[in-house]
Structure 1
Amino acid sequence: MKSTGVRRGGTSAEVGCALSRPVPWRWKDAFRRPVGIRRDGRRVVRPGSATGECDRRAHGDRGAADAYDGVRSHPERRMRLSKSRFTAGLQCARLLWWRVHEPDAPELAPDETRQAVFDQGHRVGAAARARFPGGVLIDLPHDAFEQRVTATRAAMDGGAPAIFEASFVADDTFVAVDALERRPGGWRLVEVKSSTRVKTQHLQDVAVQVHVVRGSGVPVESAEVMHVNRACTYPDLSDLFARVPVLPEVERILPGVPGRLRAQLAMLGGDLPTVAIGLHCEEPYPCPFQGRCWPEWPADHVRRLYFVGKRSWELAANGYTSIDRLPDGMTLHPAAERQRRALRLGRRIVEPTLAVALERLVGPLAVIDFETVSPAIPVWDGCHPYDPVPAQFSCHAQEADGAWTHHHWLANDTADPRPELIRRLADACRGARTILAYYAPFEAGVLAQAALAFPKLHDPVQSILDRIVDAHPLVRDHVYDPGFNGSFSLKAVLPVLVPGLGYDDLPIAEGQAASRHIERMLFGDPPPHGAERRALRDALRRYCERDTLGVVRLVETLRTLAAGAAGPV
Structure 2
Amino acid sequence: MITKTDFLVYLEAPRHFWALKNNKYDLTISDFDKHLITQGYIVETKAKEYAKRYLLPSYATNDSDLVFQRTCLDGDFEARTDILVRNATTNKWDIYEVKSVTKPKPEHYYDTTFQTIIFEKHMDIGNVFILHVNNDYVREGDFDLGLFLVAEDVTQKVKELKEETLNKMKDCQFLVGTDNYKLATECWKPKECHCKGLCFPSLPNDSIYNLARVTEKKILDLRDNDILNITDIPDDFDLTTNQRIQVEVAKRNTPLINHKAIKQELETLEYPLYFLDYETYDPAIPMYDWYKPYQQMVFQYSLHVLESPNNKDLKHYEYVVKTKSEPCRELLTHMKQYIGNTGSVIVWYKAFECSRNREMGQICMDFAEFLENVNGRVYDLMDIFKNNLYVDPKFKGSNSIKDVLPVLVPELNYKNLNIQNGTMAMTNWHKMVYKITNQKEKDELLKNLLTYCEQDTLAMVRIWDFLRQLA
Task: Choose which of 464, 467, 471 in structure 1 pairs with 2:377.
Answer: 467
Q: Give the SS at the match of 1:306.
A: coil
Q: Which runs of 5+ in 2 are unaligned?
A: 55-61
Alignment of 1:262-411 (within 5 A): 262-275=170-183, 280-282=187-189, 286-295=192-201, 297-310=203-216, 311-328=218-235, 332-352=239-259, 353-400=261-308, 401-411=311-321
Q: Write the distance in 2 (CA, Å) between the matches of 1:97 and 1:427.
A: 57
Amino acid at match of 1:356: Q
Q: Write the distance in 1 (CA, Å) between the matches of 2:197 and 2:35.
A: 22
Q: Give the SS at the match of 2:355.
A: helix
Instruction: Sort the Cα spacing of 1:444 and 1:108 in 2 relative to 1 into closer, same or farther, 3 A.
Output: same
CA contact (8 A) 2:283 2:294 kept: yes
Q: CA deviation at 1:349?
A: 2.1
Instruction: Sort the Cα spacing of 1:394 and 1:277 in 2 relative to 1 into closer, same or farther, 3 A.
Output: farther
Q: Write the distance in 2 (CA, Å) between the matches of 1:173 and 1:300.
A: 41
CA contact (8 A) 2:271 2:307 kept: no
Q: Deviations over 1:173-203 (max 9, x none)?
A: 2222111123211221100111222333222
Amino acid at match of 1:486: G
Q: Give the SS at the match of 1:433.
A: coil
CA contact (8 A) 1:451 1:461 kept: yes
1:123 aligns with 2:42: yes
Task: Choose which of 424, 433, 437 in structure 1 pairs with 2:334.
Answer: 424
Aligned to 2:83: 179
CA contact (8 A) 2:117 2:162 kept: yes
Q: Deviations over 1:122-153 (max 9, x none)?
A: 11111111111279xxxxxxxxxxxxxxxxxx
Q: Give the SS at the match of 1:356.
A: helix
Q: Deviations over 1:493-524 (max 9, x none)?
A: 1011012101111111111222222233344x
Instruction: Sort the Cα spacing of 1:295 and 1:486 in 2 relative to 1 into closer, same or farther, 3 A.
Output: farther
Amino acid at match of 2:464: V
CA contact (8 A) 2:18 2:184 kept: no
Q: Write the distance in 2 (CA, Å) between the matches of 1:317 and 1:392.
A: 48
Q: Write the distance in 2 (CA, Å) between the matches of 1:95 and 1:433.
A: 51
CA contact (8 A) 1:364 1:431 kept: no
Task: Choose which of 74, 78, 81 in structure 2 pairs with 1:170.
Answer: 74
Task: Choose which of 246, 253, 258 in structure 1 pairs with 2:161.
Answer: 253
- Comparing 160-169 and 345-354, the one that deviates more: 160-169
Q: Write the distance in 2 (CA, Å) between the matches of 1:410 and 1:128.
A: 33
Instruction: Sort the Cα spacing of 1:267 and 1:130 in 2 relative to 1 into closer, same or farther, 3 A.
Output: same
Q: Deviations over 1:413-434 (max 9, x none)?
A: 2211111212222222227611
- Comparing 331-340 and 224-233, the one that deviates more: 331-340
- Comparing 369-378 and 342-351, the one that deviates more: 342-351
Q: CA deviation at 1:94?
A: 2.6
CA contact (8 A) 2:15 2:185 kept: no
Task: Choose which of 399, 408, 414 in structure 2 pairs with 1:497.
Answer: 408
Aligned to 2:59: none
Q: CA deviation at 1:107?
A: 1.4
Task: Choose which of 119, 123, 126 in structure 2 pairs with 1:213.
Answer: 119
Could you say which structure has the higher helix fraction?
Answer: 2
Task: Choose which of 6, 13, 20 in structure 2 pairs with 1:99.
Answer: 20
Instruction: Sort the Cα spacing of 1:557 and 1:91 in 2 relative to 1 into closer, same or farther, 3 A.
Output: closer
Instruction: Sort the Cα spacing of 1:552 and 1:393 in 2 relative to 1 into closer, same or farther, 3 A.
Output: same
CA contact (8 A) 2:101 2:132 kept: yes
Q: CA deviation at 1:333?
A: 4.6
Amino acid at match of 2:455: R
CA contact (8 A) 1:299 1:485 kept: no
- Comparing 359-368 and 545-554, the one that deviates more: 359-368
Q: CA deviation at 1:357?
A: 0.9
In percent, how many aligned pairs have the same letter?
Answer: 25
Q: Give the SS at the match of 2:292.
A: coil
Task: Choose which of 446, 461, 464 in structure 2 pairs with 1:537.
Answer: 446
Q: Write the distance in 2 (CA, Å) between the matches of 1:482 and 1:203.
A: 39
Amino acid at match of 2:293: P
Q: Write the distance in 1 (CA, Å) between the matches of 2:81 and 2:113.
A: 12
CA contact (8 A) 1:214 1:220 kept: yes
Instruction: Sort the Cα spacing of 1:282 and 1:324 in 2 relative to 1 into closer, same or farther, 3 A.
Output: closer
Instruction: Sort the Cα spacing of 1:495 and 1:121 in 2 relative to 1 into closer, same or farther, 3 A.
Output: same
Q: Give the SS at the match of 2:412.
A: coil
CA contact (8 A) 2:323 2:433 kept: yes
Q: TM-score, normalised by structure 1?
A: 0.74
Aligned to 1:145: none
Aligned to 2:105: 199
Q: Give the SS at the match of 1:108.
A: coil
Amino acid at match of 2:402: K
Instruction: Sort the Cα spacing of 1:330 and 1:172 in 2 relative to 1 into closer, same or farther, 3 A.
Output: closer
Amino acid at match of 1:174: E
Q: Write the distance in 1 (CA, Å) between the matches of 2:28 and 2:229.
A: 33
Q: CA deviation at 1:317?
A: 2.7
Q: Write the distance in 2 (CA, Å) between the matches of 1:491 and 1:354.
A: 21
Q: CA deviation at 1:484?
A: 1.0
CA contact (8 A) 1:232 1:385 kept: yes
CA contact (8 A) 1:498 1:553 kept: yes
Q: CA deviation at 1:325?
A: 4.1
Q: Give the SS at the match of 1:131.
A: helix
Task: Choose which of 462, 465, 470 in structure 2 pairs with 1:556.
Answer: 465
Instruction: Sort the Cα spacing of 1:90 and 1:435 in 2 relative to 1 into closer, same or farther, 3 A.
Output: closer
Q: CA deviation at 1:116?
A: 1.5
Aligned to 1:509: 420
**How many residues are matched?**
456
Q: Write the distance in 1 (CA, Å) between the matches of 2:181 and 2:410.
A: 44
Q: Give the SS at the match of 2:294.
A: coil
Instruction: Sort the Cα spacing of 1:287 and 1:326 in 2 relative to 1 into closer, same or farther, 3 A.
Output: closer
Aligned to 1:77: none
Aligned to 2:391: 480
Q: Write the distance in 1 (CA, Å) between the matches of 2:316 and 2:285.
A: 33
Q: Which runs of 5+ in 1 are unaligned?
A: 1-79, 136-157, 563-569
Instruction: Sort the Cα spacing of 1:471 and 1:83 in 2 relative to 1 into closer, same or farther, 3 A.
Output: same
Q: Write the distance in 1 (CA, Å) between the matches of 2:77 and 2:429.
A: 39
Q: Write the distance in 2 (CA, Å) between the matches of 1:86 and 1:422.
A: 46
- Structure 1 segments (4+ residues) deviating >6 Å: none
Instruction: Sort the Cα spacing of 1:509 and 1:292 in 2 relative to 1 into closer, same or farther, 3 A.
Output: farther
Amino acid at match of 1:87: L
Q: TM-score, normalised by structure 2?
A: 0.89
Q: Write the distance in 2 (CA, Å) between the matches of 1:495 and 1:322.
A: 22
Q: Give the SS at the match of 2:84.
A: strand
Q: Give the SS at the match of 1:390.
A: strand
Instruction: Sort the Cα spacing of 1:90 and 1:467 in 2 relative to 1 into closer, same or farther, 3 A.
Output: closer
Q: Write the distance in 2 (CA, Å) between the matches of 1:357 and 1:277.
A: 46
Amino acid at match of 1:344: K
Q: Deviations over 1:309-351 (max 9, x none)?
A: 4333333334554433444456655543443332232222211
Instruction: Sort the Cα spacing of 1:258 and 1:487 in 2 relative to 1 into closer, same or farther, 3 A.
Output: closer
CA contact (8 A) 2:15 2:199 kept: no
